Amino acid sequence: MKKLICVIRLLPILVFMALSGQALADQLQINDPTDGWLNMRSGPGTEFAILRQLDNGVLVDELDQDGNWSFVRTPSGATGWVYRPYTQPARRVQLGDVDAGMASCVGEAFAIQNVWGAILETLPRLEHREIAATRHADRMVEVAATYYVTNQTLDAFRARVAQEINRSEDAILARISDVGDVLLAMDRSEALHAADCDLFFDPMRRP
């Protein structure tokens, strides 16, 4: 993270240095008035082998000179010698002549730096919110688990109560049946007692 912050802070300077380096490079433009192309050779002279042909208008970086010959590098990175009179200097921009495009690039680099700075300042708050959200989610999971266990316990309690009520109802019905049998037996006993009384008080019905 610290390395990223350093790179972001140095971004405008790096962009400026890169663009400045390109602006200060000595460039030549191929301009052969006869053939429309120029030979690039392995050495500073016509006796050296031809490496390739460069079309008019191609820009090359001049790395060294030897008389009328220039040691150059092409945009593809190839190097060799070209006849300098058949080239012309490319437009060169000095450090104090930074054009609008370069200034725009530097401005965009500063804008990117500001955006990244704001993002880096926001990251700690986002991490704090993420931690809080994670804790809240964990708490919700705990509450849901407790609710589930509570419901399971309540269901078991309801089943037990219903079972006890059924047992109580069965016991009450059995008790009522027993009381009915007792009452029936008492009715029969009273009937027999009444019959005995009639026989005792009515001599004509005695055997």
Q: What are the pLDDT tens digits along the chain (207 aa)? A: 555 555 555 555 555 555 554 444 589 999 998 889 999 999 999 999 999 999 999 999 999 999 999 999 999 999 999 999 999 998 655 545 555 666 666 677 778 878 877 888 888 888 878 888 888 888 888 888 888 888 888 888 888 888 888 888 888 888 888 877 878 888 787 777 666 666 555 555 544
Separation CA 90–CA 24 (nearest Å): 11
- Compute the chain's Rg from CA coordinates: 55
Contact 54, 64 (CB under 8 A): no
pLDDT at position 158: 86
Side chain identity at residue 76, one-letter code? S
Exposure of 73 in the CB half-sphere (CA atoms within 13 A): 8
State pTM to two decimals. 0.37
Provide the pLDDT for residue 22: 46
